[in-house]
A and B are shown apart, each in its own frame.
Chain A
Amino acid sequence: MAKYILKRILYLFLTLFIIASITFFLMKLLPGTPFSNQNRMSADQLKIVKAQYGLDQSVGVQYVRYMVGLLHGNLGTSFQFNNEPVTALIGQRLAPSMQIGAQAMVLGTILGILLGAVAAIRKNTWVDTLATFISILGLSIPSFVLAVLLQFYLAYKWKIYPVALWDNFQSSILPTLALTALPLGTVARFMRTEMVDVMSSDYIELAKSKGNSNWKVVTKHALRNSLIPVVTIIGPMAVSVMTGSMVVENIFSIPGIGEQFVKSITTNDYPTIMGLTIFYSFLLIIVYLIVDILYGLIDPRIRLGNGGKE
């Protein structure tokens, strides 16, 4: 197991290195300059500004510099946004994104598990149909559409929640709800398939024939065993929540990293785009790694990488 984890961490750095390199050269390929009013600057001024950002050196030198900086956890300086270091920019904005992301993941997973389990237990009844319908809706309706609808009805029309504000828990409810739909749909669907499988297995038959109550069979045997594979979809779920949060944060004006990313794109702030790209990739690779390790720990049948031997 330790060897496997070590190997994975090695790959993590390799992948990050490749992503960082690709991002760097892509940004260099971009047409135009990062300065918005270059025409009004004199040649000397331009030289000073370029030197300030290290843009006067050759691309190779810039690349080595950036990579060395990356090793020290330095993602460069933003061209816009008050010339702040990109790391500081991310640091300030991490908390709101993490909060709504985590809330949506937890809420979506719990509701999804319940919905999927109920659908599986009441298989082929109207309960099942309704649950399947809800999960399909959650899977299909893009989070930004949902966000706008929630904003219009719950905030603007019925005034239950603030339209767009970020101060207390109250203001995180709508964005969380908008992001919850996708994990809910994904988990519910997955859970139903797993649970139906488990419910028709021999040990459930045995548990039933021993005279256990239905409730006990479901909670003690069926639910537990169907939960294990659900761990595997946490990774893809994190991706979808992250994707959703970019627009949802924008719609609700939440000062998070998703909103920052979109803003950097529209203002051509290359260092910030680069920094956030690397940061996002890092986050996701870590999530995938943790999920894989967790899965190996929970289910001893699957010890990845070494053929089932410890």
Chain B
Amino acid sequence: MEQIPQIPKEKFKLVHDENNAEQEKISTPSLTYMQDVRRRLFKNKVAVVCLTLLSLIVLISIFAPVIAPHNPNEQQVTLSNLPPKLGNLNIPGMNGYQNMGGKMVDAYKQAGAPKGTSFILGTDYLGRDLLSRIIYGTRLSLVVAVLATLVDLLIGVPYGIVSGWKGGKTDTFMQRIVEIVSSIPNLIVVILMMIVLKPGLTSIVIAIAITGWVTMARLVRAQTFQLKEQEYILAARTLGEPSMKIATKHLIPNLSSTIIIQTMFTIPNAIFFEAFLSFIGIGIPAPNASLGTLLSDGQKAFRFLPYQMWAPAIILSIIMIATNLLGDGLRDAFDPQSSDH
């Protein structure tokens, strides 16, 4: 065997020592999944704008009693159908003037309103302040949305998890029910429930919830099926974790993105149903205002007093658009691959 000649240690030299350390350094802090999601969401300008808008609307609704300038149900019949007026500012369309027989007339003076009275969005046919009604109406619509979503979560998520987790005959049976419920048109069930129950907030929430949970249950079931095969679930099962604990500890956190995204599409749906039912006259009973009843009232007077329709229509559309766009943004944030499309 040939001897390998000894090479003195001094002949060895580290190449680019400092450079190597530089390259190997982790320069960005490692992010958890949720941090990453948040970062991606806040990078999406549209989603941020929508989030801000919605937060603002939610805040205004929560603090409605403080913010609303008048009592939303207080009637002042002498001051009915007044056009919008913003203080003493002379902005066309916001100065309290109304076209009467081809001439612009100060409607406030004509109605004999005390000096200094001004309704920013005008008044309705009973002299109720429209701005206050819209604030309270938005509040009611949001309450419907939140309650409907909660019921959706409480029924749909456990149903989907059980169905997906158990599999086999249980799953087939549970899916058959889902199939039947989903083949009945949503709206018809909602309308039937509204006829049977007394019109009101609770009935609307029940009616929406009866059909609303199906989509959530389906998505959660499909996702559970996939998760069930994952190694960490298998490990948990092997270690003898009870199913209940696996569901709460492993399944729900991993299902959260699906659930959050679906929720963002349930909310506009609930708001739409409420508005729809109130619009055709079987939703929120008078005198309470919701976006639907305001639209319905506004539509009756739309020819002559278009401002009564515009304000609730714009608010409703903004809420719907913002929730839809935020839902899109959240989906992209949770699943970055979908945004590469």
Contacts and interface: CB of A to CB of B under 8 A. Distances in A.
Interface of A: 11, 14-15, 18-19, 23, 26, 29-30, 136-137, 139-142, 144-145, 148-149, 151-152, 156, 193, 196-197, 239, 242-243, 246-247, 250-251, 261-262, 265-266, 268, 273, 277, 280-281, 284-285, 288
B184 A19 contact: yes
B341 A196 contact: yes
Interface of B: 179-180, 183-188, 191-192, 195-196, 268, 272, 275-276, 279-282, 295, 299, 302-303, 306, 309, 313, 316-317, 320-321, 324-325, 341
B316 A197 contact: no
A247 B299 CA distance: 12
A145 B188 contact: no
Kindly name the residue among B279, B282, B324 whose own CB sees the greatest number of chain A CB atoms within 10 A. Answer: B279
Contact of A15 (B180, B187, B324): B180
Nearest to A152: B302
Contacts of B317: 140-142, 145
A251 B320 contact: no
Contacts of A156: 303
Contacts of B275: 142
A149 B298 CA distance: 11
A96 to B, nearest CB: 18
A281 B185 contact: yes
Contacts, number: 97
- Top 9 closest pairs, chain A to chain B, by CB: A140-B320, A140-B321, A196-B341, A243-B187, A145-B313, A141-B317, A15-B183, A148-B299, A262-B280
B43 to A, nearest CB: 15
A20 to B, nearest CB: 11
A14 B324 CA distance: 35
23 contacts: A15-B184, A26-B192, A30-B196, A140-B268, A141-B321, A142-B272, A142-B317, A144-B299, A148-B299, A156-B303, A242-B185, A242-B187, A246-B187, A247-B276, A262-B280, A265-B191, A265-B195, A265-B280, A265-B282, A277-B188, A281-B183, A281-B188, A288-B183
A69 B295 CA distance: 40
A246 B316 contact: no
Kindly name the residue among A29, A148, A196, A281 whose own CB sees the greatest number of chain B CB atoms within 10 A. Answer: A148
A277 B299 contact: no
A246 B280 contact: yes
Contacts of A261: 191
Kindly name the residue among B185, B295, B309, B325 whose own CB sees the greatest number of chain A CB atoms within 10 A. Answer: B185
